[in-house]
A and B are shown apart, each in its own frame.
Chain A
Amino acid sequence: MGITGRDVFLGRVRDALGRSPGAPELDGATHIGLAVEDVRRSADDVRREMSESGDALLDAITESAAMAGWKVRRVASPEDAADVVAEICSEAGATNVLRSDQDVFASIPVDAALESKGISPGVATVGGAGDDIPTLKQAAFDADVGITGVDYAIAETGTVVLHPRKGLSRLVSLAPGRHIAILNWGDVLPSLDELFTLERADFNDDAIHGSMNLISGPSRTGDIAAKIVEGIHGPFEVHLVIVG
């Protein structure tokens, strides 16, 4: 775009406001004025709370996730978690299962549990289930179930947070009819505010991801006669397997 366009536009905004260029005086309404060190300190506090209150936060999200529409299963061990995942897939009659390539699958033996039910999962990566982006997309749309870990979860809202990146396709939690998310102890945040504190600290450190998805239950619509129906574009069924 032409820089002139921008400058003319901004000039008009200033004229309408009767304002001269320059930084505004901050009145404390927005967080924009917080110093980098303060944000970092808040982020450290958030991380401390996530582990110090780990049990309570896991209890809280067990409840709020169910309210948001997740089918919640809480298990004690990684092996149990893997078995529950395999059970959900086989009960759904799934033959085509896709999972992300996240660390969680190193500690939770999902592949082995699925194999024991005769399901061999694909890995939703370019070079895995797809040769390139279009074939990966096709694989995601063809899958019956998509399985992912969880970057964070939010107790306030029953939300699972995912940052798409290498190993974590945007579509694996979206295109299959069912999504299973596996949540470990210590990854639960109290509320949306703590999530954005951490995001901002990452942003200040130049470590922010290209995008972020907050997922709180199944895909829903109320657009026909105001009746809530689940599964319009995304998954019609979502499972949260909580370990701990």
Chain B
Amino acid sequence: MLPTTDRFKKGAKETLADPVIQMSMEAVYTGFHTNRQSAGSATEDWDGQRDRGRAIKEHTIANLDYYLEMLTDKIDGNGGNVFFAEDSAAATEYILNLARARDVKTVIKSKSMVSEEMSLAHEMEAVGIEAVETDLGEYIIQLAGEAPYHIIAPAIHKSQDQVAEMFSEMTGTDPGQTPEELTTTARGVLRETFQRADMSVTGVNFAVAESGSIVLVTNEGNGRMCTSIPRVHVAVMGMEKIVPSMQDLGMMLRILIRSATGQRISSYVTMINGPRRDEEEDGPEEFHLVIVDNGRMKLLADPKLREALYCLRCGACLNACPVYRKVGGHSYGWVYPGPIGAVVSPVMSGLQQGKDLPFASSLCGACREVCPVRIDIPNMLLHLRQKVVEGPPEERNIGRIERLGWKAWRFGNMNSNRFHAGGKIAHFLGWPFARKGMFSRLPPPLSGWTRSRDLPIPASSPFRDRFKKRQSGGGE
């Protein structure tokens, strides 16, 4: 997917003005976030499990080459094939070549964020292979020609009416269908597609190094369809998605799923240990695992960003984030939105273009609070901000005027007299324009703030003066 991370401010502005999306986004908080909170408190030793989950990821990523090699050997031993892809183009080429070599006509896809990095469905369609997204949310956005809005709920921004209208155009059904009726419509269309598919592409939630297994977590059952029906199964994973032992899986599944939807477990968890065995009744004849770098090496190489690779892609930080819930998923301009996206998207797809993303946060820490593996996202955002402002020229991206502005700001704040004088001047100059102590419209660049919220006028006298007065009995 081509990054449009430079459109962040524009996208955010548009989304803030879109009442349908603002309404739809309520659900990520009232649904996912609230469910996650109760799932966490209902789980015995929840915080201890998160600590152990983090320790497993920390150990695995610190020794990633060792576990990747183990995984590869085991998959070879299980009769599967492994391909390492430096970037999304190499991964796409491998899969397209495989599809051609096996004379594949129809590919069914289950949800995979890495395949979104590759725009895989689109690339397949471009060479004449039918590629159908089968996660209902992904299916909806494929019909709409859009990118996912949320890591686990790709079509969360679409209202029921919008989906009903799309389905109506496609199948001629009544545009007033309920979610139940729409689901039945999709079930019919997709079951027919499943039956004739000759290849599937899935993501990977966990790969187990010691056994060469991959694990898929779904609620819909499309992951199971993809690993039961077609002749060829291709799984695509980011290189970080490993756990060392099968015995690590119980806890990792627990913290992933409870953080994602708040369920104790999803409807389906599927473990695949290579292609169908000879004596089995059904299942794919071939299994391929494509392990993708595509910019992850940059995260790995920076000790301050490395922990971004602990991410389980549960989406909890999105749901908790007051910024994501308002600016929406598309504003972030690449595959991964929200707080974790503000870290990984600019690094993986180009920091200079994505320079606004690390600033799309109030650093309130809600993301760190909910992360199942306690990733310190605010700290990484600060690190990236520093790179954008002070980093090497190829990463730095800040205009001369802005630089000058911040210099003036620093000058004003470095000395207490200047600071006090500044506050008083601002109050004096500002009060004719304020109403009830608030500015609601200011000229640029301050209009960026007042467009969507009010700014309180600086106090007439600073806190310290008032405090002193109070102490000496003056009161106020």
Which of A's residues lie within 8 Å of B, judged by CB? Answer: 1, 5-6, 8-17, 19, 21-24, 26-27, 29-32, 34, 39, 64, 67-69, 124-126, 133, 136-138, 141, 156-159, 164-171, 174, 191-193, 195-197, 199-200, 203, 208-227, 229, 231-234
Question: Which residues of B from 205 to 228 have beta carbons under 8 Å from A?
Answer: 209-211, 219-222, 224-225, 227-228
* Binary interface encoding of chain B residues 180-197 relative to chain A, with 1 for a CB under 8 A from any of its CBs, else 0: 101110110011001100
Query: With A and B bound together, what is the CA distance between A7 and B281 in angstroms?
Result: 37
Q: Are A171 and B65 in contact (CB under 8 A)?
A: no
16 pairs from A and B in contact (CB 8 Å cutoff): A12-B293, A14-B65, A32-B244, A164-B280, A167-B281, A192-B250, A197-B247, A208-B211, A215-B267, A216-B268, A224-B140, A225-B27, A225-B163, A231-B187, A232-B183, A232-B186
Among B159, B251, B280, B281, the most chain A Cβ lie within 10 Å of the Cβ of: B281
Q: Interface stretch among B54-62, B432-440, B452-460? A: B54-62
Q: Are B283 and A12 in contact (CB under 8 A)?
A: no
Evaluate whether A200 and B246 lie within 8 angstroms (CB atoms) in the complex, with A29-B59, A225-B163 already known: yes
Q: Which of B140, B248, B265, B283 contacts A31 (CB 8 A)?
A: B248
| Residues of A with C-beta under 8 A to B211 | 200, 203, 208
* Binary interface encoding of chain B residues 251-268 relative to chain A, with 1 for a CB under 8 A from any of its CBs, else 0: 101100000010011111
Question: Which residues of B from 259 to 316 have beta carbons under 8 Å from A?
Answer: 261, 264-277, 279-283, 291, 293, 297, 300-301
Question: Chain B's nearest CB lies how many Å from the CB of A116?
Answer: 28
Q: Is B37 an interface residue (CB 8 A)?
A: no
Q: Are B84 and A9 in contact (CB under 8 A)?
A: yes
| Residues of B with C-beta under 8 A to A12 | 293, 297
Q: Are A199 and B220 in contact (CB under 8 A)?
A: no
Question: Nearest 8 CB-CB pairs, A to B?
Answer: A234-B221, A31-B247, A29-B55, A192-B250, A223-B137, A226-B27, A32-B244, A24-B63
Q: Which of B63, B82, B187, B227 contacts A6 (CB 8 A)?
A: B82
Q: Interface stretch among B66-74, B116-124, B361-369, B467-475? A: B66-74
Question: Chain B's nearest CB lies how many Å from the CB of A222?
Answer: 7
Q: Which of A24, A64, A158, A164 contacts B281 (CB 8 A)?
A: A164
Query: With A and B bound together, what is the CA distance between A19 and B297 in angstroms?
Result: 14
Evaluate whether A211 and B272 lie within 8 angstroms (CB atoms) in the complex, with A219-B219, A220-B220, A226-B31 already known: yes
Q: Are A215 and B268 in contact (CB under 8 A)?
A: yes
Q: Are A157 and B276 in contact (CB under 8 A)?
A: no
Q: Are A125 and B281 in contact (CB under 8 A)?
A: yes
Question: Chain B's nearest CB lies how many Å from the CB of A239?
Answer: 15
Q: Are B267 and A220 in contact (CB under 8 A)?
A: yes
Q: Are A1 and B84 in contact (CB under 8 A)?
A: yes
| Residues of A with C-beta under 8 A to B155 | 223-224
Evaluate whether A214 and B220 lie within 8 angstroms (CB atoms) in the complex, with A12-B297, A32-B245, A137-B229 already known: no
Q: Which residue in chain B gives the minimum CB-CB distance to A67?
A: B264
Q: Is B153 an interface residue (CB 8 A)?
A: yes
Q: Which of B56, B180, B194, B195 contacts A29 (CB 8 A)?
A: B56
Q: Are B281 and A233 in contact (CB under 8 A)?
A: no
Q: Are B219 and A224 in contact (CB under 8 A)?
A: no
Evaluate whether A171 and B247 lie within 8 angstroms (CB atoms) in the complex, with A133-B281, A166-B279, A225-B179 already known: no
Evaluate whether A226 and B250 lie within 8 angstroms (CB atoms) in the complex, with A1-B84, A9-B293 already known: no
Q: Which residue in chain B gives the minimum CB-CB distance to A211?
A: B272
Query: With A and B bound together, what is the CA distance between A21 and B64 in angstroms?
Result: 10
Q: Is B351 an interface residue (CB 8 A)?
A: no
Q: Which residue in chain B gives the minimum CB-CB distance to A192?
A: B250
Q: Which of A17, A217, A220 contacts B64 (CB 8 A)?
A: A17
